[in-house]
Structure 1
Amino acid sequence: MPEKDLVEEITPIENAYIFEKVNSSHYPLLQELFLDVFNLNYSIADIERRFNTNELGLETIGFIAISRGKPEAAAYYGVFPLKCQIGNEIILAAQSGDTMTHSHHRKKGLFSRLAIMTYDECKKKGIRLIYGFPNDNSYHGSIKVGWNHTDDVVRYDLKLKIKTFPLPKIALGYRLLRRIYLRYARFLLSSKLEFPIPGFFSSISNQPGRVYRDSTYIKYKYADDKFFLRFGNVVVWLKVSDTLSIGDFENTDLVNYQVLKKIKKIAFFLGHNTIAFTISKGAPKPSFLNHFKEHKRTPTLMLYLDSKLEGTDISFTAADFDTW
């Protein structure tokens, strides 16, 4: 559907909502949305850090709908600018993220309106493509406004045969316990820690595109629940959550069962019964995944804002997600 027709179709909602480009003054309203939509109790500082993508190329671009009747946040849509490498060229791109519609304001065309406003602003700022991994709620709306379903990302799980006490599922949900647990994790991993990392580029992709994970990207993604570990010539980026998630490997071809055994041992002592690795279906499947089982697939969508990039594929792992 042409963008003009879609805008004309939904303009009556302007009588009920105010549409504004997001800045820091809107962060309290975004707190309301994160809580209502995702049950996430983000602080203003959390949102500031999440939206601070300036060093990656641009500030976060997003628009918010505010109810005219009751002054509350109705919906938000935005993207996180970053850099991608397409062949030998580094381009400005973005990841779609934080699609949120308040439970009081759903099925009113707000996503489509906010999305088109965001894409127009992206074009003005020089963003050439946007990628995303929509859930079931936003998939059809994304296809409606011009996204292309180009691939899937596949999560593979490795289950520990000898079960351990699920410590992170208890500790990570409480601020004090989380702090204690992460100190324990850093102590446990101290002999393997590899930091700082000047860049962390995937070695598994035969596709023309990848996220450009230079030092600024690593700095943006830094958090106390993520660790770079070295096992000989292999470096792995791990995140502790409900599972032990592998963001990516450096020197993927060198990952063998001996490396996996060491990661399994770490998982056991950290309290994880599952190790997860996510990769694009279209990328070459690393041999170490023969020890894993497929858990689920999520669509990969691409929106080409530059016609010269039409059909460009990008390979992803978990380290490329906005949730990483």
Structure 2
Amino acid sequence: MCLCIIVAMEHSPYEYHILSNARLKDVQSLFQEIFSKRVSMEYLQAKYNTSWTGVQNICFLAYHSGKPVAFYGATPQIFIHQGKQFLVAQAGDSMTLPAHQRKGLHKKLALLSYARMQTLGIRFVYAFHSENTYHSCKKLNWKEGPRMRGFWVKTGTLPWGKVARRLPGLKAWHKRRSARLLKVHTLNNGAEKWSTIPKQVEKMQVDYRSAFFAYKTFTPNAICEFSGARFWIKCESIISVGAVQFERLEQLVSGIEELKRLGKKLGLPQILFQTTRGSVINEWLESHYTGFDSWLVGYFAFEEGIPFTDWQISFGDLDTF
């Protein structure tokens, strides 16, 4: 049964509907019309199939004369803090057709989504801010959370792989080469093994359980092992590191050197780390590389007592990683 909400607003030409699998085609059309971006239905179905969390369809679309004109996207996540799990949501994929901007649609869709989140027991919503989302969320009284620190690690190769990714005739070849080389290092049962490592339970963070990694397969990422350290990575025009696990610092150091060698084989000149200030990997990277201020993470809390000062964020938390 499709849950449909039509908000009664006097003289309003808009209708508001909760996201459903049947309405994903409307999200797809908005991506194409607003960003000229082709997003497959398979991608959207996988991204918005969040049944593994126990919560589904927490965001809304706006329609004008039956046509989709705006979307406020959000997906639920399971967090853990001091051994206790709870639900949060990450906002993303928000968009409005130019002809319907400045009509309050973003705010209306956001408030509808927040109301639904609260009924489902979600404790707060957060986002990795772009300049646009920062200003729009400021109008909704969002708070500023941690600012992440980024680090570029050079692999020492020319960017021939990055160029290949941009050429239609070579892009597919480079993807196959990346998959083949990643397979050599991909950890068997990596998600299960990652889940068995004791977590920093004093920190509030995404619970990187097996179900989370299974859900994240809608993007080309892999859990790989280098020198005993586990790296959750994506290889596209750069190597992006979503998270790292290691027991000894020398494993991290040697693992990064191996990751550089992988970059050379793929013609990818840079490895990108995104870290939370004060984390072990952040402190090591700060002492060996020049960092830069990256994403500001913002949040809107639905209740009191959430330990935002103990929040540890990883690049892999991002909805598109």
Q: Secondary structure at the match of 2:59?
A: strand
Q: Deviations over 1:179-203 (max 9, x none)?
A: 4323212322333220322163698
Residues 199 and 152 of structure 1, relative CA distance in 2, 3 Å threshold: farther
Structure 2 contact 75–91 (Cα < 8 Å) conserved: yes
Normalising by structure 2, what TM-score?
A: 0.87
Hey, what's the Cα distance between the residues in 2 that align with 1:178 and 1:151?
Answer: 36
205 and 103 in structure 1: CA distance in 2 versus 1, 3 angstrom threshold: farther
Alpha-carbon deviation of 1:233? Answer: 2.1
Q: Map of 1:7-156 to 2, 5 A cutoff?
A: 15-68=12-65, 71-156=66-151
Q: Deviations over 1:244-287 (max 9, x none)?
A: 10111111652443322211111111121111000123545231
Equivalent AA in structure 2 for residue 170 of structure 1: A
User: Per the alignment, do residues 263 and 310 of structure 1 end up closer, same or farther by CA in structure 2, a change over 3 Å counting?
Assistant: closer
| 2:226 is the counterpart of 1:231 | yes
Instruction: Report Cα offsets for 1:98-150 as digits up to 9, x if no partner.
Output: 11112222222111110000000000011112221121112122122132102
C-alpha deviation, 1:312, in angstroms: 5.2
1:169 and 1:33, CA in 2 relative to 1: closer, same or farther beyond 3 A? Answer: farther
Kindly report the root-mean-square deviation, in angstroms, between the aligned alpha carbons of the 2 structures: 2.6
Counting only pairs closer than 5 Å after superposition, residues 183-194 of structure 1 correspond to structure 2 as: 183-194=176-187
Does the C-alpha gap of structure 1 residues 306 and 204 become closer, same or farther in structure 2, counting only changes over 3 Å? same
**What runs of 5+ residues in structure 2 fail to find an aligned partner?**
1-8
1:308 has 2:302 as partner: no
CA distance in 2, matches of 1:109, 1:295: 34
**1:213-240 CA-partner distances (Å, limit 9, x unpaired):** 1000010112562122112321111101
Q: Which amino acid aligns with 1:187?
A: R
Please tell me whether the aligned partners of residues 20 and 65 of structure 1 are also in contact (alpha carbons under 8 angstroms).
yes
Instruction: Indicate how the Cα distance of structure 1 residues 243 and 60 shifts in structure 2: closer, same or farther if over 3 A, else same.
Output: farther
Offset of 1:206 from its aligned partner?
8.1
The amino acid of 1:271's aligned partner reads G
Give, in angstroms, the shift of residue 288 of structure 1: 3.8
Report the Cα distance in structure 1 between the residues aligned to 2:307 and 2:215, rounded to whole angstroms: 28
Contact kept, 8 Å, 2:82 with 2:201, in 1: the verdict is no
Q: Secondary structure at the match of 2:184?
A: coil
| Alpha-carbon distance between aligned partners in 2 of 1:199 and 1:58, rounded to the nearest angstrom | 25
Structure 1 residue 163, shift from structure 2 partner = 3.0
Which stretches in structure 1 are left out of the alignment for 5+ residues?
1-10
| Change over 3 Å in CA distance of 1:295–1:115 after alignment to 2 | same
Alignment size in residue pairs: 310
- Higher mean displacement: 117-126 or 21-30: 21-30
Identity %: 22
Matched, 1:163 2:141: no
Q: Which residue of 2 aligns with 1:3?
A: none
Three-state SS of the structure 1 residue aligned to 2:224 is strand
Instruction: Check whether the contact 2:145–2:298 (CA below 8 A) recurs between aligned residues.
Output: yes
DSSP 3-state at the match of 1:36: helix
Q: CA deviation at 1:205?
A: 5.9
Deviates more, 1:231-240 or 1:164-173: 164-173
Further displaced range: 145-154 or 307-316 = 307-316
Aligned pair in 2 of structure 1 residues 112, 102: CA closer, same or farther (>3 Å)?
A: same
